[in-house]
Amino acid sequence: MEPTDKDKAAMLRYAAKKAAERQGFMAWALDLYMRHEKIDQLQLADYLEIEPKQLPLLGLCLRPDTANNKAFQQGVKAICKKFGIKSVPLANLLRRVAAYASDSHDTTFLMAARDKEEDGDN
């Protein structure tokens, strides 16, 4: 028995939800961007100028590496071609996500260092 379109959409949403747990996927980047910008999926889709139903499939793409400019540009270009997204909003989103992730990592590191200093003072 073939899965229905509704079943396929549910499986795609589930896969994207699982992908959001891994930094290497676009779903992770999209989720982080929405949380930091305090927007929902409709607003994200509007920003990227795509249909909201495309977001789960977009989320399953590998996230372009912002640390390697050539690979980043190639990854953004490939995603834009596949989904009909303009490159500037997508590249900006990914760069912001990289900054958010970096800030979050730095904050976590500083908090851990502070906690270690406090433990050493006792």
Residue 102: in which H helix or E strand, if any? Answer: helix 87-121
Per-residue pLDDT reduced to its tens digit, 35-90: 999 999 999 999 999 999 999 999 999 999 999 999 999 999 999 999 999 999 99
Domain locations in the chain as residue ranges: 5-121
Per-residue pLDDT reduced to its tens digit, 47-57: 999 999 999 99
* C-beta separation of 87 from 49 below 8 A: no
In sequence order, which residues have a C-beta less than 8 Å from that of residue 102 and are 6 or more positions away? none
Q: What is the pLDDT of residue 104?
A: 63
